[in-house]
Each structure stands twice: as structure tokens, then as C-alpha cells.
């Protein structure tokens, strides 16, 4: 397919941090196979913030775990494609190299701060263990840094001996964020970092992430189903559906002129605060079932503009402008 090569063209440049090439991931258990990711291509440049958007079950978290090569053992398999971090294949790295990369060069913030901190270790230790591992320092020295980090996100340094249960959800997520950023990684992956939090806390956390990303000059892969977060934090956005990226481009273009009907649906499912009141358009149907994906375009069963072609042929990425591509047969004529 000639069109799929478009995104990789820029990827040969030296400032690229992450390049995902044609990634396919399957989950196998009890005889069932779920095709969670089906040919994802994505590139992140230095200091860039890219959003990965989709409903739950679209394969976002799987993509993130694949980058760290941390798919659940015995069930999750990368069947095709490769992931390049600093022009080195993550899949070919040894376990020792991977452990150096995880936490040291790539930090990850998890979705649920209530479950992603170990309940029986102090928060101080959970941040310090990253420093101890990657900086090779003792816990005592590490604790000094941990205190500074805690202060930086607005938690008194003296609380480093607290256990997770003694902290509120928002505070726990701050701990999760500084644990991910402690070693100034080149890439920060944030997997729905605000979903489990109250709305007011969400804003604080986002503000914090924005500030820290700028401060640490790291690239950011922001995974979310919340389009508001994307417009706040990211320059580019990839829309994911059924384990594929269906639309990709600059945040501005995609938000003002979405080309894929799924993106259109997503954008019109959010109430607008300004302007005349419109009826919300809910997307009909359910997210594509990874165990039984439809043929052709994964979205065609829910699409209001479905063509005959959509039911049998998977659409390639069509380039609309330099900053915008989309995988949809309906826009073929516009290219």
C-alpha cells in the first residue's frame, strides 16, 4: 500500500524518539484470540506531545505496554511489526537493556492511581526504587531527591514515609507521575492519567503534566478517551479504532476538520459550552470486538456513511495535507 509509507518518511530524521511500525498484537487465552492491535504506525519526535485517542478496548493501553515490551506474559504477543526507540528495536533488546530503558528512558503513568501503587510499600520507596535502579544510588541519597520531587508536585517531603492508603487519589497520581519522571526519561507515556480522578483534580494533574513535560523536555504519548485533554496538551493526535489508527494529524486540523466518521462522531459526542445548543450525536453500536473483528473497515458497522467497499476492503491511510491523514474510503475522492 503506497499510502501507508507516508508517515515513516519523516521518521528517518534523527530527532525521532519513538517509531512504531506496523504493530500487531494478539491476546491468546483459552483457545480464544483477541486481535488488540492491528497494524499501528506512529512516530514521536523529541519534545513532542502526541495524543492517542479511542474508546476503551481500542488497543491504546496494549500499544503503550508494547512500547515497554511489558505485555502480559503467556497471553499477550506481538505478532508482527516492530517498535524503535532511539533507533533501536525494543523487541530485540535483552531483558537487562529493557530494564534500563523502562523507568530510565521511558516513564509510564498508569490509569488508576489507586491500584498502580503497591499498598504495602511507602510512596517514598516506590519513587526511590526508580532512582536506586537507574542512578545506582543508595536509598538514603535517593530519599533526598524523592523529597524534592514530592515538594515539586505539592506534597510535603516529610510524607515520603506514608503508605499509599494515607494519600488521596490525586496525591497518589502525583506520586505516580514523579516516579515516572524521576530519571528524566526521554519519553513519558501517560495512560489515561486522569480518568480515575475527580474533575477538579483532573485539571490540576493536567496542568502539572504540562509543566513537567516542558521542564523535563521529554516527549509525551498521551493516551486518553478525553478529547479535551488532547487539545490542552498535544500537538498531534492519533485516533484509534479496532486496534488501528484511523486518523492522524495536527490537533488543530483534526479538531476543526475531522475526515473520519469515527472522529467526527467522537467530536460531536461532546457537548459544547459556547455557541448555540446542538443535539449530541451518540455513536450507535458498540466498540468493535477484538475477538471477532469485522472485515474491511473496522468501523463500517457503526458508520452512517458506509460504502460497499468499506465492508470488504481495509482502507489505507490517505494523505489529506502534510499534517493530516485518514484511513477512510469515503475521502478517497478528496485526495
Partner 1 sequence: MRNNLLKRLGLTVFVLIGVTLIAFVLMRLGGGDPAVMMAGGMATKEEVQDYRVRMGLDQSYLVQYLTYMNGILHGDLGYSWSYHTSVGEVLSVRLVQTFNLTLFGFFIASIFSMLLGTIAGIRHGSPIDFVALLFAIIGQSMSIVWLGFVLILIFGVQLKWLPTQGLGGLQHMIMPGICLGFGYAAVQTRMMRSGMVDVLKEDYVVATRARGISKSRTYLVYALRNALLPIITNMGNQFGHLLAGVVVVETIFNWPGIGQLLVQAINMRDYQLVQSALLITSILLVLCNLLADILYTVVDPRISFQ
Q: Is 283 in the site for partner 1 (CB under 8 A)?
A: no
Q: Is 118 in the site for partner 1 (CB under 8 A)?
A: yes
* Euclidean distance between CA atoms 109 and 97, whole angstroms: 20
C-alpha cell at 308: 460497499
CB of 51 to partner 1, least distance (A): 20
Closer CB to partner 1, residue 115 or residue 289?
Answer: 115
Contact 44/78 with Cβ under 8 angstroms?
no
Out of 1, 9, 14, 74, name the contact with partner 1 by CB under 8 A.
Answer: 74
10 Å Cβ neighbour count for 178?
25
C-alpha cell at 196: 480515575
Provide the 8-state DSSP code for 218.
-
CB of 193 to partner 1, least distance (A): 12
Out of 2, 14, 119, 333, name the contact with partner 1 by CB under 8 A.
Answer: 119
Element (H, E) at 190: strand 187-191
Closer CB to partner 1, residue 174 or residue 302?
Answer: 174
Out of 112, 226, 231, 250, name the contact with partner 1 by CB under 8 A.
Answer: 112
Interface region with partner 1, contact rule CB under 8 A, candidates 102-110, 206-214, 251-259, 285-293: 102-110
Binding track, positions 134-153, relative to partner 1; x by CB under 8 A: x-------------------
Q: Is 163 in the site for partner 1 (CB under 8 A)?
A: yes
Closest CA to 42 of 205, 199, 212, 187: 187
Interface region with partner 1, contact rule CB under 8 A, candidates 109-117, 209-217, 279-287, 296-304: 109-117
Q: Is 223 in the site for partner 1 (CB under 8 A)?
A: no
* Euclidean distance between CA atoms 140 and 144, whole angstroms: 7
Q: Is 130 in the site for partner 1 (CB under 8 A)?
A: yes
Out of 16, 43, 63, 116, name the contact with partner 1 by CB under 8 A.
Answer: 116
Q: Is 273 in the site for partner 1 (CB under 8 A)?
A: no
Task: Return the HEC string of 222-271.
Answer: EEECCHHHHHHHCCEEEEEECCEEEEEEEHHHHHHCCCCHHHHHHHHCCC
Q: Which residues contact 271 (CB under 8 A, 6 or more apart)?
A: 280
Q: Please classify residue 246 by burial: count the beta carbons closer than 10 Å to its beta carbon, then call 0-12 exposed, 13-18 middle and 19+ buried.
A: buried
Out of 31, 94, 120, 256, name the contact with partner 1 by CB under 8 A.
Answer: 120
Closer CB to partner 1, residue 100 or residue 159?
Answer: 100
* Euclidean distance between CA atoms 42 and 244, whole angstroms: 11
**What residues make contact with partner 1 under the rule CB under 8 A?**
65, 68, 70, 74, 95, 99-104, 107-108, 110-112, 115-122, 126, 129-130, 133-134, 163, 165-166, 176, 179-180
Amino acid at each position: 500500500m503506497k499510502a501507508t509509507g507516508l508517515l515513516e518518511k519523516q521518521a528517518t530524521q534523527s530527532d525521532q524518539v519513538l517509531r512504531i511500525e506496523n504493530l500487531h498484537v494478539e491476546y491468546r487465552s483459552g483457545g480464544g484470540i483477541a486481535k488488540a492491535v492491528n497494524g499501528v504506525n506512529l512516530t514521536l519526535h523529541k519534545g513532542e506531545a502526541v495524543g492517542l485517542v479511542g474508546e476503551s478496548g481500542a488497543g491504546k493501553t496494549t500499544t503503550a505496554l508494547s512500547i515497554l515490551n511489558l505485555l502480559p506474559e503467556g497471553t499477550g504477543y506481538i505478532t508482527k511489526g516492530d517498535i524503535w526507540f532511539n533507533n533501536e528495536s525494543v523487541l530485540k533488546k535483552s531483558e537487562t537493556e529493557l530494564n534500563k530503558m523502562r523507568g530510565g528512558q521511558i516513564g509510564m503513568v498508569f490509569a488508576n492511581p489507586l491500584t498502580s501503587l503497591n499498598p504495602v510499600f511507602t510512596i517514598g520507596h516506590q519513587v526511590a526504587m526508580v532512582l536506586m535502579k537507574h542512578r545506582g544510588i543508595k536509598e538514603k541519597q535517593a530519599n533526598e531527591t524523592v523529597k524534592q520531587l514530592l515538594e515539586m508536585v505539592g506534597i510535603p517531603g516529610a510524607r515520603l514515609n506514608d503508605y499509599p492508603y494515607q494519600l488521596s487519589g490525586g496525591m497518589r497520581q502525583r506520586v505516580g507521575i514523579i516516579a515516572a519522571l524521576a530519571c528524566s526519561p526521554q519519553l513519558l507515556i501517560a495512560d489515561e492519567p486522569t480518568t480515575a480522578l475527580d474533575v477538579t483534580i483532573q485539571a490540576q494533574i493536567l496542568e502539572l503534566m504540562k509543566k513537567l513535560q516542558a521542564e523535563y523536555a521529554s516527549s509525551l504519548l498521551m493516551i486518553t478517551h478525553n478529547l479535551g485533554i488532547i487539545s490542552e496538551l498535544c500537538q498531534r493526535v492519533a485516533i484509534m479504532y479496532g486496534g488501528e489508527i484511523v486518523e492522524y494529524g495536527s490537533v488543530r486540523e483534526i479538531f476543526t476538520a475531522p475526515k473520519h466518521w469515527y472522529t467526527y462522531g467522537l467530536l460531536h459526542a461532546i457537548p459544547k459550552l459556547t455557541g448555540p445548543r446542538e443535539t449530541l450525536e451518540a455513536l450507535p453500536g458498540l466498540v468493535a470486538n477484538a475477538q471477532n473483528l469485522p472485515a474491511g473497515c473496522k468501523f463500517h458497522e457503526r458508520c452512517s456513511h458506509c460504502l460497499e467497499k468499506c465492508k470488504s476492503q481495509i482502507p489505507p491511510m490517505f494523505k489529506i495535507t502534510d499534517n493530516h491523514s485518514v484511513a477512510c474510503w469515503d475521502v478517497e475522492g478528496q485526495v
